[in-house]
Structure formats: C-alpha cells, structure tokens
Amino acid sequence: MPPRVDFYVLPETLAAARFACAITARARREGLMVHIQAASRDEALELNDLLWTFNDISFVPHCLADEDRDPAVAPVVIGWAELPPRTGDLLINLDEAIPAFASGFARIVEAVPGDSARRGQSRERWRQYKEMGCEPQRLDYDAGKADA
C-alpha cells in the first residue's frame, strides 16, 4: 500500500522549519516516530536548534541522523542527503526532492511554502508521488489549530 501523502500549503508568514516543528510535536503527542528530511546538514542543524526552542512549554526529543541514539530516547531524527532513516512512521520532507526511502513510510508530509518560486518544485513532487501510486492530498495549514 502506498504511503499517505499530505501537501500542506503554508501561509506566507510561516517558515517551513517552524511548520515541521509544529507537525513533529503533534506527531509525537500521537506517539509517532518521525523522520524530518532536510535539504542539507546545515538546514538539519538549524532544525535541531529550532526543535529545542520553538515551544517554551514542551520538548521534542530528537537527534541528527549521523548520531547514534536509541529511537526510544530520540524518536525524532533529522536527516539530509540520502542518509537512511533508522525508523519512522512519519516522514516530513523539507527537501526539494523526494528521498529514495520515502515509500517506506506510512505517511509523508510535504510543506508548500507561500512563495510562488518554490511552489513549482512542490507541483513536481506531487506529480512524482502520483507516479509512485500515491494519491496526494492538498491541505491548507492553519497554525492556530496545529498545536491544539
């Protein structure tokens, strides 16, 4: 069975990294293991820092893909390039390309930035998911409801 793929259209004022943090926090409350795919190690490091600080009242246990951590201790992994995920229920893809391992996840979340330049890349990924046998869904992201 192909993964469920949700494309979240973000407001222009919301950065994809902050969106990823909010979705990750919600997924962790549901007990899901999460792999966040960044475009580069530098972006992964930024996400690593942001997961420590994006919410004053909660902590999302996480690590970078090149760290050797037990998934029970770090159920959120931030990866880049083709570093294979250790485990995961949910893939949050912030890369411009679909990772080769994407089909191994039950659910995939794609962020569609508010700026039109990057929307073309999202359309291309939508087409690629369709070719993989997925039925992508378009959702408008409401930041006010994400942490409810």
Express each pLDDT in 102-118 by its tens digit: 999 999 999 998 776 67
Could you report the per-residue pLDDT of 24-74, keeping only the tens digit for each? 999 999 999 999 999 999 999 999 999 988 887 778 899 999 988 887 888
Q: Which pTM was predicted?
A: 0.91
The whole-angstrom separation of Cα 145 and Cα 19 is 12
Pick the CATH number of 4-143 from 3.40.50.10110, 3.40.50.300, 3.40.309.10, 3.40.50.150: 3.40.50.10110
The whole-angstrom separation of Cα 68 and Cα 147 is 29
Q: Which amino acid is at 134?
A: C
Tokens of 128: 């690629």
Q: What is the DSSP letter of 125?
A: H
pLDDT for res 24: 95
Q: What angle do CA 45, 122, 143 make, to 5 degrees?
A: 65
Nearest to 49 by CA among 29, 20, 75, 26: 20
| Domain layout of the chain by residue ranges | 4-143
The whole-angstrom separation of Cα 74 and Cα 60 is 9
Tokens of 125: 């990924």
